[in-house]
Amino acid sequence: MPFAASLQQNLKAVKAVLPAEDILVHAFRAGDGTPCAAVYADGITDKKGIAELAVLPLSRQEAPRTAEALQKALPYPETKLPQDVAAACQSILAGDALLLADGVAGAVTLGAKQAAARAVTEPQTSVTVKGPREGFVEDIKTNLGLIRKRLPTPALRPETLRVGRHSQTAVCVLYLDGIADAKVAEAVKARIRAIDIDGVPDSSYIAKFLAQKPLSLFKQAGTTEKPDILCAKLLEGRVAVLADGSPIALTLPYMLAEDFQSSQDYFVSPYRATVSRLLRLLAVAVSLLLPAFYVAAQLFKLRLLPFPLLMTISGSIQGIPLSPGLELFFLLIVLEVLIEAAVRMPKYVALALSVIGALVLGDTAVKAGLVSSPAIIIVALSGISAYTVPDLAGTLSVIRLAYVVVAGSLGTYGIVLMTALILYYLVTSDAYGVPLLAPFAPLVGKDLGDAAWKESVYALRTRPAALRPKNRTRLRLVYRGGKEE
């Protein structure tokens, strides 16, 4: 529906589309007495800015006769001319203000979005000892600003798309032109455009639609809450996706090795970083396999344990009514329940529940002879180890339960077979043409320096080959150790 020349008709048309009570109309007169009005949504619009930069200047001058003249007459920094009433209403809902004047067959939208946003703080899920501490917030513009601050290059290409029939959530796809594989960027955009859903509350919804295997147990898109990590991934040739209302950014294509990297690895000595990475790998293996091997060793393969340890364990498991498999399974379920409760419980009851969880459930269960002490030690070690790679913790906990079931029923060969199955699944999973298990399978020798171990910054001359970046050169060496190359 086009705009009419009459202010009243235009206001009636807008109110017909937006009858909600939080859509406010501020009526005022221009310098020559022409009736004007500003329409905006209460709570998400910067009223002070509208008053100072639009209403006040217009009330001191003669009302323009066209929308273009109205746009030029205002000292407002962000203005647009909406095509019709529907487009204007959409802008109002997005936080903009609509400026109307009697006798003008058009309108001007003022970019006055001002949503309540929390401050930029360090994200709780990726705390670092060394390195930047800024984290993303729920406002997409703030997040884009944080990225732009780190990458002030014209090659950075953000493109905002609207997703959600009702939520109309802004989803921004961004990549570095000339570095990222344009085909991946186009594929991501095409998939986002194809999403037809009523609302998108978080970027994890988008991740489901971007996944090659939506039912997979493993992650299909990388996630980060820190702009420095996101910028590093963009510089490697990945494509990022930001969603308004979510502090978690997605990165594509995703490789499993990413989760074993930490931003701190790049700020400390490469030797220390290598040790950390190997520890993470070991911790994941311990988290997955230790409970299973404990069960299998007790049930099927006693010689796996050294004799003194075997004696200790056999002494402590005497009189336990549950089989080792059931005992471990039960304890792992208790661990999962405790984790779930700890995440959601109010902080003021956390201490009390911790005491109940650790002392009452743990200590008393052992004293009552329901579970053995070694089983509790193994479950605790396994649970702690999983959180060395927090992004994989959820996946690990599910696989760990499956391993315990398999070890309890099929024994050690079951563990071997399950490992083979998982490896076959992982090696045959690709996302946007990039293998999930790269650079290990397929083996990409040049990329191993930043995956299995951490080489010094001089060795990272090229971007990861597995991502097929357009421009592979990352570092041009001029000086190394004081010597000119």
- Residues lying near other proteins in the complex (CB under 8 A): 299-310, 410-417, 419-421, 423-425, 427-428, 435, 437, 440-443
The residue behind tokens 């010094």 is 456
Name the residue nearer to other proteins (CB basis): 308 or 482. 308
Name the residue nearer to other proteins (CB basis): 308 or 346. 308
Reference 221, options 244, 200, 203; nearest CA is: 203
Computed from CA positions of residues 229, 231, 237, 243, in that sequence, does the dihedral angle turn out positive or negative?
A: positive
Name the residue nearer to other proteins (CB basis): 24 or 182. 182
Q: Which residues contact 50 (CB under 8 A, 6 or more apart)?
A: 26, 38, 40, 97, 110, 112
Q: Which residues contact 211 (CB under 8 A, 6 or more apart)?
A: 220, 221, 431
Name the residue nearer to other proteins (CB basis): 44 or 305. 305
Minimum distance, C-beta of residue 262 to other proteins, in the bound complex (Å):
23
Contact 437, 424 (CB under 8 A): no
Minimum distance, C-beta of residue 299 to other proteins, in the bound complex (Å):
7
Name the residue nearer to other proteins (CB basis): 362 or 435. 435
Minimum distance, C-beta of residue 324 to other proteins, in the bound complex (Å):
13
Looking at residue 172, its amino acid is: C
Instruction: Compute CA distances 237 → 8, 13, 185, whole Å.
Output: 53, 47, 10
Minimum distance, C-beta of residue 248 to other proteins, in the bound complex (Å):
30
**Phi and psi angles of residue 205, each rounded to the nearest 5 degrees, phi first:** -65, -45
Name the residue nearer to other proteins (CB basis): 151 or 452. 452
Minimum distance, C-beta of residue 288 to other proteins, in the bound complex (Å):
14
Minimum distance, C-beta of residue 289 to other proteins, in the bound complex (Å):
10
Minimum distance, C-beta of residue 261 to other proteins, in the bound complex (Å):
19
Looking at residue 256, its amino acid is: L
- First-last CA distance in the chain: 67
Contact 216, 444 (CB under 8 A): no
Name the residue nearer to other proteins (CB basis): 243 or 437. 437
